[in-house]
Amino acid sequence: MKKIYESTRNRNQKADATKAILQGLSDDGGLFVVRDIEQCSYDITKLKDKDYSTIAEEILALFFDDFSKEEIKDCVQQAYLGKFEKDEITPIIPLHDAYVLELFRGPTSAFKDVGLQMLSQLTSSALYKTKADYDVLILTATSGDTGKAALEGFKDVEHTKIIVFYPNDGVSKVQETQMKTQTGKNLKVCAINGNFDDAQTAIKQLFVDQEFKATLAKQNIKLSSANSINIGRLVPQIVYYVYAYACLLKQGVIEVGEEVNFIVPTGNFGDILAGYFAKQIGLPIHKLVCASNDNHVLYDFIQTGIYDRRRDFLKTISPSMDILISSNLERLLYYASGCDNAYVKQLMEDLSNKGYYQVTDDVLKTIQKDFACGYATNAETENTIKAVYELDRYVLDPHTAVAYKVLLDDKDQEHKNIVLSTASPYKFTDSVYSALYGKVEDDEFSLMKKLHQKTNVKIPKNLENIDRLEIVHEDTIEKEDMKKYVLDKVKEI
Ligand SMILES: *Cc1c(COP(=O)(O)O)cnc(C)c1O
């Protein structure tokens, strides 16, 4: 039976997988979900003998059953083969207190490569399958890593165009340089004077702006999104949870059926939601631990059931998690409320009208069964980078360090703990270097070399000579002007 996706906010807004991937967001502003997710059940008993690609093919086939086996196999090969530093794709490293699952070995050194390399392949394949006579325009807001990973995923992919907006002064120097030097004929990169939430909110509005969409339609262009609200990006992320489990089975560290914990540095709630999906389809997970930084709106929510975005937006040393509106949480609300679309719609209206919502005690209890939470301040994050380096000679990036700190705060000794590592430390060299050796005034590029000399950790290839690449994108605009920018620039790409 073919899987039907529906909007979190309206059961009658339906799509098959192909449409859900091409469209990104439902017309009513809701997110696409499969109602009977338990029916996507995955057999974990034979995991021991499976490699990353095999697991990826099986998981994708479960959720995207309107793609043929060959199409999926092809997508997996195109997305991952030869594009990652290691054949394992996401290696798992044992440290004293936890296993670190390295998700950052892809072409831009961020975990977002895992989802976005696949999303571009799925998009391309879906366009081909449906014999589409239009181009897809990907609009993306980025807090740093998504932008580069999406650009790299979609660059020069036929019948796609991509425009990326990032908050001026809201991303690291390395991230900014990665984006400003992006090559490719079908793309634009633009800074906005505002924060990530401003950019994300503006893009969400464009997706429900019928006049805007009609203008694009006249040029044979349809909108889509590469943010983690796209199901085509989320599902590939389920794979590494299953793969991590397979690795521990292979190493004889756990037995089939034994529950493990995953500790996840969280922003938009995409990464951790993929873990929740993994659990729904049968992976034995005890707790998914949601780790926040000083913007701990999710921590507060999981503690109290009140989601309140009316607070100051703080800039931290883990900027990819500096988020106050966590889009993918909507999908969890949908499942935790027993697939109650009207209830989710009401909560989202409360959030947009009043700035907060409160879930019922039942929904909160359901969420707390699967999720634990914690947070780390900047100082705690820095101390953790230093402590783990001293103990294990392993260099954490600040996002991963947030998760590691949350693990150490309340370590569950009864289960194996797996910390998801979401970026190479070299993407945030400034913060990492100063945590290890104290603040220095060098630029980030010479610091990379210094960090390498001192720690002997290899600099990823794509970052090694980045300061010598040509800057090709220099646009900066006000946040109010994003719509105009898109309409102007889409003609050039
Ligand atoms: C995007 C990102 C996160 C947060 O992931 P979500 O899916 O938004 O929760 C964490 N760490 C890094 C380095 C990221 O780029």
Residue 208 belongs to a domain: no
Indicate which residue of 3, 46, 83, 112 is catalytic.
112
* 33-64 CB burial, b ≥16 within 10 A, e <16: bbbebeebebebeebeebebbbbbbbbbbbbb
Tokens of 489: 């620039």
> Which residue range is the domain that position 315 belongs to?
92-109+232-463
* Domain presence at residue 469: no
Residues ≥6 apart with Cβ < 8 Å to 110: 104, 145, 148, 149, 320, 422, 423, 424, 427
Which CATH number does the domain housing residue 420 bear? 3.40.50.1100
Please tell me the predicted confidence (pLDDT) of residue 354. 97
400 lines ligand 1 (CB under 6 A): no
Going by C-alpha positions, the residue among 160, 152, 167 that lies closest to residue 186 is 160
The two three-digit tokens of residue 440, written as one number:
């220095």
Query: Domain for residue 166, yes or no?
Result: no
The answer to whether the CB of 233 is under 6 A from ligand 1 is no
C-alpha 28/C-alpha 349 separation (Å) is 12
Ligand 1 midpoint to CA 91 (Å): 18
**Which atom of ligand 1 has the smallest separation from the CA of 397?**
13
Measured by CA distance, the residue closest to atom 14 of ligand 1 is: 320
Position in ligand 1 atom list of the atom nearest CA 237: 7
111, 171, 266, 327: which to mutate for ligand 1, most atoms within 8 A of CB? Answer: 111
Q: Residue 381 domain-assigned?
A: yes
- 53 lies in some domain: no
Distance 146 CA to ligand 1 centre (A): 8
Give the distance (Å) from ligand 1 centre to CA of residue 285. Answer: 20
What total number of domains does the chain contain? 1
Question: What is the Å distance from ligand 1's center to 267 Cα?
Answer: 6
Nearest ligand 1 atom to alpha carbon 270: 7
123 falls within a domain? no
pLDDT at 269 (0 to 100): 96
Contact between residue 262 and residue 238 where contact means Cβ atoms under 8 Å apart: no
Q: Match 């309409």 to its residue by tokens.
A: 487
Q: Residue 213 falls within a domain, yes or no?
A: no
Q: Is residue 42 situated within a structural domain?
A: no
Is the beta carbon of 345 within 6 A of some atom in ligand 1? no
Between β-strands 160-167 and 135-141, what pairing exists: parallel, antiparallel or unpaired? parallel
Q: 454 an active-site residue?
A: no
**Tens digit of pLDDT at every position of the chain (493 positions):** 689 999 999 999 999 999 999 988 898 989 999 999 988 999 999 999 999 999 999 999 999 999 999 999 999 999 999 999 988 999 999 999 999 999 999 999 999 999 999 999 999 999 999 999 999 999 988 877 889 999 999 999 888 999 999 999 788 888 899 999 999 999 999 999 998 888 988 998 998 899 999 999 999 999 987 877 899 999 999 999 999 999 999 999 999 999 999 999 999 999 999 999 999 999 999 999 999 999 999 999 999 999 999 999 898 999 889 889 899 999 999 999 999 999 999 999 999 999 999 999 999 999 999 999 999 999 999 999 999 999 999 999 999 999 999 999 999 999 999 999 999 999 999 999 999 999 998 988 999 999 999 999 999 999 998 989 999 999 999 999 999 999 999 999 9
User: 271 CB under 6 A from ligand 1?
Assistant: yes
Q: Comparing C-alpha atoms, which of 139, 55, 182, 104 is closest to residue 471? A: 182
The C-alpha atoms of residue 484 and residue 382 are separated, in whole angstroms, by: 41
